[in-house]
Amino acid sequence: MAQINVDGGRLIVEITGMNRVWALKKRLDIPLAHVRGATADPGIVMEPKGIRAPGTHFPRFITSGTFYKDGERVFWDVRDSSKAVVIELAGERYARLVVQVADPRATVALIERAQLVS
């Protein structure tokens, strides 16, 4: 699972628990200016993930790490698809982040509010 915060014009994504091991990543720090938007999207997990490099993928159990699809790099950290949030990025290493959060609607609202302020 991921914890998402906004601090000083930056979107901070902290990967928690054992997911750090599966994702091979602890934290992502992205300027809010590079965040194009966020949506709660439980259906995203049904899409093909692409090529895993590096990361972990056990269908219907966990998708975590970096995946390449259609020439884009996508970061995944999802176990429970009902809590998936997709964060679209521009000008970053990843084109998109697909992460599981405790409250998808609150997370999307947090990101949208932060974008309005920045």
Q: What residue spans of 1-118 are helical by DSSP H?
A: 19-23, 104-117
Predicted TM-score (pTM) of this structure: 0.94
CATH number of 2-117: 2.30.29
Domain ranges of the chain: 2-117
Instruction: Tell me the pLDDT tens digit for each residue of 17-63.
Output: 988 888 889 999 999 999 999 999 999 988 889 898 888 888 878 89
Residue 85: partners with Cβ closer than 8 Å, 6 or more residues away: 4, 38, 39, 40, 41, 98, 99, 100, 101, 104, 107, 108
Q: Any alpha helices (H) in 12-103, and if so which ranges?
A: 19-23
